[in-house]
Amino acid sequence: MITEKFKKVILDELNLDDFDIQDNTTADQVPGWDSLNHINVILALEKAFNVHFKGIEVLRCKNIGDLQNLVNTKLNQ
């Protein structure tokens, strides 16, 4: 499940008013989330949730749901 806070961080970073983000949404489906901007989204998430991702953990994510799960695991640690 994509949480409200998680979604808001992404939308704010990409300057989007609203966009429907589901677990199986992929980054390339979200306007503005390209391979260059990707890093800004990751940094924004790290800052907002005060977590630190390892490179391989982010590379493993196939969709936004995976990224949400990664944040959840980090928060539960």
Partner 1 sequence: MLFNIDFSKILQLFTYQEGDPLLFSTSFFIFFFFTLLLFYRIFAYKKNLRIFTLIIFSLFFYYKAVGGYFLILIIMTIVNYYSGQILGSLKEGISKRRFLFVLTIVANLGVLGYFKYTNFFIQIINNIGSGNIDALDIFLPIGISFYTFKGLSYIIDIYIGTFQPVKSFRDFSLYMFFFADLLIGPIDRASKLLPQIQREINVPRENIGRGTYLIMSGLFKKIVIADFIGLNFVDRVFGDPTRFTGVENLLASYAYTLQIYCDFSGYTDMAIGVALLLGFNIMDNFNAPFKATSIGDFWRRWHISLSSWLLDYLFAPLQMKLRNLRMYGNAIALFITFFAIGFWHGSNWTFILFGSLHGLYMVVSIFLKKPKTQLFKKLKLSDTKLLKFSQGVITFHLVVFAFIFFRAFSIESGWDVVSQIFAFFQAGVFMQFVNAYPMIIILMVIGYVLHFLPEAWEKWTENFVVKMPVVVQALLLTAIILLVVQFKFAGLQPNIYFQF
Residue among 8 and 38 whose Cβ is closer to partner 1: 38
Residues in the chain: 77
In whole angstroms, how close is the CB of 4 to partner 1 at the nearest point?
A: 25
Task: Considering only residues 34 through 73, tell me which ones interact with partner 1, judged by CB under 8 A.
Answer: 35-36, 38-40, 42-43, 53, 55-56, 58-60, 62
Which helix (H) or strand (E) segment holds residue 74: the answer is helix 64-76
The residue ranges that bind partner 1 (CB under 8 A) are 35-36, 38-40, 42-43, 53, 55-56, 58-60, 62
